[in-house]
């Protein structure tokens, strides 16, 4: 079989070197470093002048099983799937079901939740290989 585009050995080596350097460029310039399972919630926060919200799964799953939030409290299992407003949290819904001064600290600690870098999009982050829904 003859290929239409045959490559000389030199060009092959060059290509490999090129792709390797590309790999090093990609992997050293933009490593995925966020902790696995961290969720950014930023539908409204930044538009309203607050930092994006970061919800850490690793921290909460040490204290609560998934079923507490995703069954008892009814959080949908989709990043961005819950239409959360600060008003509802203050009324004791969503994060406010626990961050109420009883199960956890109160919503007065704005910065602990609103801790994200400006410009982050609502999504799950930190998966080192796959990013869950929507990435592929």
Q: Which residues bind other proteins (CB under 8 A)?
A: 3, 7, 12, 15-16, 19-20, 22-24, 26-28, 31-38, 40, 51, 54, 56-59, 61-68, 70-73, 77, 79, 97-98, 103, 111-112, 114-118, 120, 124-136
For ligand HEC, how many residues bind (rule: CB under 6 A)? 51
User: Rule CB under 6 A: is residue 97 a binding residue for ligand HEC?
Assistant: yes
Which helix (H) or strand (E) covers residue 24, if one does?
A: helix 9-29
Q: Which three-class secondary structure state does DSSP give residue 123?
A: strand
Decide: residue 22, CB within 10 A, 0-12 exposed, 13-18 middle, 19+ buried. exposed
Q: Taking a C-beta distance cutoff of 8 angstroms, is the pair 63, 103 a contact?
A: no
CA distance 80 to 121: 10
Binding mask 1-30 for ligand HEC (x = CB under 6 A): ------------------------------
Contact 67, 136 (CB under 8 A): no
**Can you tell me which of 20, 109, 121, 128 binds ligand HEC, judged by CB under 6 A?**
109
Residue 104 near ligand HEC by CB under 6 A:
yes
């Amino acid at each position: 079989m003859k290929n239409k585009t045959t490559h000389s050995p030199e060009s092959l080596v060059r290509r490999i070197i090129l792709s390797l350097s590309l790999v090093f460029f990609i992997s050293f310039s933009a490593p995925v470093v966020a902790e696995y399972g961290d969720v950014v919630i930023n539908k409204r926060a930044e538009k309203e002048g607050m930092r994006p919200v970061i919800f850490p799964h690793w921290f909460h799953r040490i204290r609560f099983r998934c079923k507490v939030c995703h069954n008892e409290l009814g959080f949908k299992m989709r990043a961005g799937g819950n239409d959360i407003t600060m008003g509802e949290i203050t009324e004791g819904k969503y994060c406010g079901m626990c961050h109420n001064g009883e199960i956890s600290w109160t919503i007065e600690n704005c910065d602990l939740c609103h801790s994200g870098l400006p410009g982050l999009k609502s999504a799950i982050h930190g998966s080192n290989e796959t990013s869950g829904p929507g990435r592929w």
